[in-house]
Chain A
Amino acid sequence: MGNIIEIENLSYQYPKGHKPSLLNINLAIKEGEFVVVMGKNGAGKSTLLLTLNGIIPNSFGGKFYGRVIVDSMDTVEHRVYELAEKVGMVIQDPEAQLFMPTVKDEIAFGLENLAVPKDEILRRIDEALKIVRLEGFEDRSPFDLSGGQKQRVAIAAAFALRPKILVLDEPTSQLDPKGTLEVFQTILNLKKKYNITIVMAEHKSDEVAKFADRIVLLDDGKIVREGKPKELFSDVDLFKKLSIKVPQICELTYELNKRGKAVNEIPITLDEAVITFSKYIEKIGRKIKNIERKEFKRGDEVILETKGLWHIYPGNVIALKNVNFSAYKGDFIAIIGQNGAGKTTLVKHFLNLLQPTKGEVLIRGKDVTKMEIFDLSRHIGLILQNPDHQLFSTTVYKEVEFGPKNLNLPEDEIAERVKFALESVGLWELREEHPFALSWGDRQKLAVAAVLAMKPEILIFDEPTTGMDWLGRHQILNLAKELNKKGHTIIMITHDMELVAEYAKWTVVMGLGEILLQGPTYEVFKNADILAKTYLSPPQVTQLAQSLSEYGIRPDILTVDEMIEVLGGSE
């Protein structure tokens, strides 16, 4: 089989760019291959993908050197709509790529543009809905679907044009674990049944390891390396250097090997790991060393609690069902659960943005519904997923100053708070910069600083890591951890179980408006069956520990470091 995509000496610079976004890229992709492009934010992944259907350079302009040949068509010599029949594209944001009133019209849109006869269009709609398993959704509005369903509609719309190549730019980054699984299953299904070539940018290394044929590592616009997952994921150093996450089991194996423990074959999926490590444990004579866990102690000062909280939306939709939640001073709480489980609704009650249908929400014993937003802002700060939703000032300093100024504090107090907040996040040196001149990570820190200047006791992080790379995730959560140490109570909503395991001390699992389970994080992750009810699973390393329980390994291992200790990393 020949190459369906050939990229030769490709370099590209955006019209307003200061440096090339892609530099001397050479890449050939075979028909039917599943290639994943990995790299940190800003590495050039999206740019590379957009060259495949000619949007770069045909629509975006800029300086373009080299050649991109897709199914024998030079992208520069063809219009984007000609290439659209060869290359389907799905992007990150499920909302922005669906624009028709019904699913049927959405899928028909491309075919109508190509003047495909009506009967054929109707046939292809059926076919496309079948392959993404959304039969019966023809007349639904795409806006009313879940994130995973939306992305499947986007895939169906791309697939309907019968492309040979499907390009997906981080299609799961805004989805919960269930949605992620649905999207991956759909893609695999397409590949298997129609031999479609898949080119995908993705951060989720566990899935990449399982499904990809080949990984291309991008950094700073250049291809650093490419190869089979097995080959690449064994070079953990390289990934660390590029700030790209590897599956936990790869990291585990690598670290053990580094300590001279010789785990012969490097596993990249959980199933492989269970076999490899069973052998390994036998080899070391089952001499494992279990970690000791101190008894978990929470603070004794309740600062936020809900008592018998119910929320019923108009139309009798029960969003919260008798929720009894409490946060003690010094807690680091993760609220987890699939989308629609009630996490956001609960948090909105903390902020008095929604009022209880029944029950009450108390901050330090005071009813939240009777508090002015000003009072409230002294207790709770909210950090949104997207920092750009919060920033508007012309300098970093002014951005942080905004909140304290609104509190009508004396000048010196304001100045002091701004300094404190900017120093806490490490942005004091950049105080004269324009917020939008900062990198995404710094903008997120700035959003945190702006909230910190209000001196709230509780900080709420609403999906702070969505769409972020590995480095960004750890930066923001390390910041949260620091603030937690200084006495702030942290509540975060997230879908990233590895981060929950690493950072949260207390975890609340929600499903269908109820708290299914809460407790110290290590206790919560022991209950894989309850987590499964809300389509969650413990981190990979925890799952590995649980699969190896017959060797006496604790089922509540949370991190790779703990597992290294157990498997004899220490001498």
Chain B
Amino acid sequence: MGVRSAFIPGNTLLHKLHPASKMLLVFGIIIVAFTTTNVAFLFMLLLFLIAIWLYSGIPASRFKTVFKIIAFLAVLFIFFYTAFSPTVNKTLFMEPVFPAWIPIIGGFGGYYVEGLLLGLATDIRLLVLIMSLPPLMVTTAEMDLILGLLQVGIPYEFAFLLTTSLRFVPTITETRERILEAQKLRGLRLEGGLISRIKSTVPIFVPLIITSIRMTQNLQIAIESRAFGAKKKRTTIRELKFTNLDKAFCIATLTTIAIAVYIGFFMIEPLGDIDLAIEILRMILYTLKPILELIGYKVVI
């Protein structure tokens, strides 16, 4: 059986906070991540986020697939930015092994320190972006999340739709597995090249979509027959209180965001200390030099 709910009960500070406070934290982290490309600064932000994960007991193993995808993208970004550095000041550290006209691996005449740093910054941003949501989802019960969304002004119909669709993900996953099992026994192959892979999804997705449409219709009947939309103002059996703890938390969060944004914008350089980066890079390249040169790269610094 699949994971039924993102929420894990607990008793941490995050569990005690109002969903709105947690949403503020999430938005704060995202805003800060986009104030600068300074790698050291972004790295600190990432460490802070990891600390939140550890503190609120978020099971990283649950997000294995997500991390795998990020890892793939991260390598792609680094490579792309390093070889096609879009910044103006370019410090060459390695000459390419392939001529520039070969697409992707060719590079425009070399690999640049700035490009490498920008690639790193983008990777960290991506990681921060993805990792900022679980602290909210994992520490907030679905109903509280709906209520939280309502209280920050999102219409009930929309909040309901959002959480209900999340609710049906496991059911659909299970259906998908059953379909997959049956189609495999009819010789469906999932491996092979890109085209055959795309082709092989048809026998799974067509039945899945048809089944989902039918389920949606049933859901509509169920919801309507329980007086959905009867009154403009619904009551609710759950209460969410914005406590003093929330007030303190929000003030602290806002202050921190303000300081971080100020630092990010005015006190540090984009990308960071190039000389330091070169030093570090030099140390790494020094050890790797024989291998790199063996396969044809020419290390410059």
Contact = CB atoms under 8 A, between A and B. Distances in A.
Whether chain B is bound by chain A comes out as yes
Nearest to A100: B143
A108 B229 contact: no
B167 interface: yes
B273 interface: no
Given A115-B231, A402-B203, A406-B189, A101 B225 contact: no
Interface string A150-178: 00001001100100000000000000000
Interface in A79-102: 79-82, 84-85, 87-89, 91-93, 95-102
A417 B170 CA distance: 37
Contacts of A100: 142-143, 167
Closest 3 CB pairs of A and B: A406-B187, A110-B226, A97-B222
A91 B218 contact: yes
A112 B234 contact: yes
B4 A454 contact: no
B186 interface: yes
B230 A81 contact: yes
Contacts of B233: 115
A35 interface: no
A114 B168 CA distance: 25
B181 interface: yes
Interface string B24-57: 0000000000000000000000000000000000
B218 A96 contact: yes
Interface in B206-230: 206-207, 210-211, 214-215, 218-230
Interface stretch (A16-24, A380-388, A561-569): A380-388
Contacts of A351: 181, 185
B179 to A, nearest CB: 5
Given A351-B185, A390-B207, 12 more contacts: A55-B224, A89-B222, A92-B218, A96-B222, A99-B168, A99-B219, A118-B235, A158-B226, A373-B185, A391-B206, A392-B203, A402-B187
Contact of B225 (A89, A99, A112): A89
Contacts of B175: 389
A112 to B, nearest CB: 5
B237 A118 contact: yes
Given A115-B231, A141-B4, A388-B207, A377 B186 contact: yes
B182 interface: yes
B225 A87 contact: yes
A113 B185 contact: no
A40 interface: no
A389 B227 CA distance: 32
Contacts of A312: none
A112 B211 contact: no
Contacts of A111: 235
Contacts of A388: 207, 210-211, 214
A474 to B, nearest CB: 23
Contact of B207 (A53, A85, A118, A389): A389
B227 A85 contact: yes
Q: Is the interface of B mostly helix, strand, loop or mixed?
A: helix
A428 interface: no
Contact of B178 (A373, A389, A392): A389
B12 interface: no
A110 B227 contact: yes
19 contacts: A84-B226, A97-B219, A99-B168, A100-B167, A101-B141, A105-B237, A112-B234, A113-B226, A118-B237, A122-B237, A141-B4, A161-B227, A351-B181, A373-B185, A382-B182, A382-B185, A392-B202, A402-B186, A403-B187
Interface residues of B, number: 53
B235 A116 contact: yes
Contacts of A380: 185
A377 B187 contact: yes
Given A81-B228, A100-B143, A143 B186 contact: no
B182 A99 contact: no
Contact of B237 (A53, A89, A112): A112
B184 interface: yes
B151 interface: no
A92 B222 CA distance: 11
Interface in A365-396: 373-374, 376-377, 380-384, 386, 388-392
A104 B205 CA distance: 34
Contacts of B7: 101
A109 interface: yes
A101 B227 contact: no
A451 interface: yes
A152 to B, nearest CB: 15
A80 B188 CA distance: 45
Interface in B158-211: 164, 167-168, 170-171, 175, 178-179, 181-189, 202-207, 210-211
B4 A374 contact: no
A104 B143 CA distance: 11
B11 interface: no
A377 B224 CA distance: 44
A103 interface: no
Given A144-B4, A382-B181, A389-B175, A84 B206 contact: no
Nearest to A348: B181
Contacts of B143: 100-102, 105
A563 B168 CA distance: 48
B185 A381 contact: yes
B186 A403 contact: yes
Nearest to B176: A389
A82 B223 CA distance: 13
B236 interface: yes
Contacts of B182: 382-384, 389-390
A82 B230 contact: yes
Contacts of B204: 392
B5 interface: yes
A121 B141 contact: no
Nearest to A104: B237
A99 B170 CA distance: 12
A389 B211 contact: yes
Contact of B236 (A101, A112, A143): A112
A55 B221 contact: yes
B142 A101 contact: yes
B222 A99 contact: yes
Contacts of A104: 237
Contacts of A353: 181
Nearest to B230: A81
A396 to B, nearest CB: 15
B4 A81 contact: no
Nearest to B231: A115
Contacts of A392: 202-207
Interface in A222-268: none
A459 to B, nearest CB: 11
A81 B66 CA distance: 41
Interface in A518-565: none
A95 B227 CA distance: 19
B165 to A, nearest CB: 10
Contacts of B223: 99
B230 A113 contact: yes
Nearest to A143: B4
A15 interface: no
B295 to A, nearest CB: 38
Given A99-B222, A407-B187, A450-B186, A81 B237 contact: no
B186 A96 contact: no
A50 interface: yes
A59 interface: yes
Nearest to B200: A406
Contacts of A82: 230
Nearest to B204: A392
